[in-house]
C-alpha cells in the first residue's frame, strides 16, 4: 500500500465515520477538546474504547476523533491497524516509523501538513487479539530491563526484529499464520510482543516533532484499554524516562474504557500480564523456531 492508496481509503473511511451522531459522553468530549485546541498538526494521542473493542463504541470514538481533526481543517485518514501494517512494508514495522514515513512521502509530493492518521479496528484485528494483549508481560517480567537483561531477554529482543522471519514467510500476515499454526496462542503472543517492541523508545519522536514549528502528521490510536496497557508495560523504561507511551501523548490519553466506571480503580497496568516464569516457558519454543529462520 502506498501513500495515495492509504490516503484515499482512509479519507473514505473517515467520511463514513463522520456519519455517526455527534452527541458524545463527557469522557469523549474531554478527549476531543485537546485535539481541537492543539496549536499545530503534530504529536499523538489515544483513547480506550471498550474492554472488548465493541464495534459501536469504536465507531463512536472514530467519528468523534475524525470530526475533531476535520473541525481544525485537517484531513483525517482512518485505517484499521492491520491495514496500516501494509503501508511502507519495506521500511519499518514500527507504528511511529510508519507515521514518519507517511510524513516523508507527503513532503516528497509537496503536500501541506494537513493529515492526521487515526488507527482503529483493533476488534477486527487478526494480529492484536485481546487475549494476547492481556498476556503481554511487564517489561521486567519479559527480562527486558536494560540494567539487568539476561540471556532470555537478549534472545527475545533479537528475535523481535522479525525481519528474517518475514523474509522467509513473505509478509507479516504469512508470518502470523505460520506462528499461529505451529504455536497457537504462544505464537500469537510472540508476534504481539515483537510488534509492540518495534516502538520502544519511539513515541518520543512524535513528541519531539510537536515542538517543531512545522509540526508533523498527527497520530491518534482508538483501541481497547488492553492495547494501551500492553504498550505501557513494554515501554516502562528504556533509559530516557518512564512510561514513554502515555507520557508522550501530547494529544491526550484515556487509558480506561470509554464507558467505564470513573470511580472504580482498575488494576494498575504494571501488575497485569504473565509472570516471568510462565512467559519465558511459553516463549522458549517460539524463540528456538525464530532463531532457525
Whether residue 277 has pLDDT greater than 90? yes
Cell of 108: 516528497
pTM comes to: 0.92
Q: Domain residues of the chain, as ranges?
A: 3-125+202-272, 130-194+278-291
In this predicted structure, the answer to whether residue 263 has a pLDDT above a threshold of 60 is no
Instruction: Tell me the average pLDDT across 6-26.
Output: 87
Query: What one-character-per-residue DSSP string does 81-122 give?
Result: HHHHTTTTTTT-S-HHHHHHHHHHHHHHTT--S-EEEEEE-G
Fold of 3-125+202-272: Rossmann fold (3.40.50)
pLDDT tens for 114-135 read 899 999 999 899 999 999 999 9
Per residue in 132-154, pLDDT tens? 999 999 999 999 998 888 999 99
40-98, pLDDT tens digit by residue? 677 899 999 988 778 888 899 999 999 999 998 999 999 999 999 999 888 789 999 99
Do the beta carbons of residue 36 and residue 71 sit within 8 Å?
yes
pLDDT band at 215 (very low <50, low <70, confident <90, very high): low
User: What's the pLDDT score for residue 212?
Assistant: 54
What was the pLDDT predicted at 216?
80
Cell 458524545 sits on residue: 24
Amino acid at each position: 500500500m502506498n501513500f495515495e492508496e492509504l490516503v484515499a481509503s482512509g479519507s473514505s473511511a473517515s467520511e463514513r465515520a463522520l456519519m455517526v451522531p455527534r452527541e458524545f459522553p463527557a469522557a469523549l468530549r474531554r478527549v476531543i477538546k485537546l485535539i481541537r485546541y492543539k496549536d499545530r498538526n503534530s504529536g499523538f494521542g489515544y483513547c480506550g474504547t471498550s474492554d472488548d473493542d465493541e464495534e459501536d463504541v469504536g465507531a463512536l470514538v472514530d467519528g468523534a476523533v475524525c470530526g475533531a481533526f476535520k473541525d481544525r481543517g485537517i484531513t483525517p485518514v482512518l485505517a484499521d491497524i492491520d491495514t496500516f501494517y501494509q503501508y511502507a512494508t519495506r521500511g519499518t514495522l514500527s507504528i511511529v516509523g510508519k507515521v514518519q514515513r507517511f510524513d516523508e512521502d507527503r513532503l516528497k509530493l509537496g503536500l501541506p501538513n494537513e493529515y492526521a492518521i487515526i488507527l482503529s479496528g483493533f476488534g477486527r484485528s487478526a494480529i492484536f487479539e485481546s487475549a494476547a494483549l492481556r498476556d503481554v508481560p511487564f517489561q521486567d517480567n519479559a527480562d527486558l530491563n536494560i540494567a539487568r537483561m539476561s540471556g532470555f531477554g537478549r534472545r527475545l529482543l533479537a528475535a523481535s526484529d522479525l525481519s528474517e522471519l518475514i523474509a522467509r514467510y513473505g509478509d507479516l500476515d504469512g508470518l502470523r499464520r505460520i506462528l499461529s499454526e505451529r504455536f497457537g496462542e504462544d505464537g500469537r503472543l510472540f508476534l504481539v510482543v515483537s510488534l509492540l517492541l518495534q516502538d520502544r523508545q519511539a513515541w518520543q519522536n512524535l513528541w519531539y516533532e510537536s515542538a517543531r514549528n512545522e509540526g508533523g502528521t498527527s497520530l491518534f490510536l482508538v483501541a481497547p484499554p488492553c492495547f494501551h496497557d500492553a504498550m505501557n508495560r513494554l515501554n516502562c523504561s528504556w533509559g530516557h524516562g518512564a512510561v514513554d507511551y502515555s507520557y508522550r501523548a501530547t494529544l491526550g490519553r484515556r487509558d480506561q474504557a470509554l464507558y467505564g466506571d470513573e470511580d472504580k480503580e482498575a488494576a494498575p497496568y504494571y501488575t497485569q500480564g504473565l509472570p516471568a516464569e510462565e512467559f519465558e516457558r511459553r516463549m522458549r519454543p517460539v524463540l528456538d523456531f525464530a532463531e532457525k529462520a
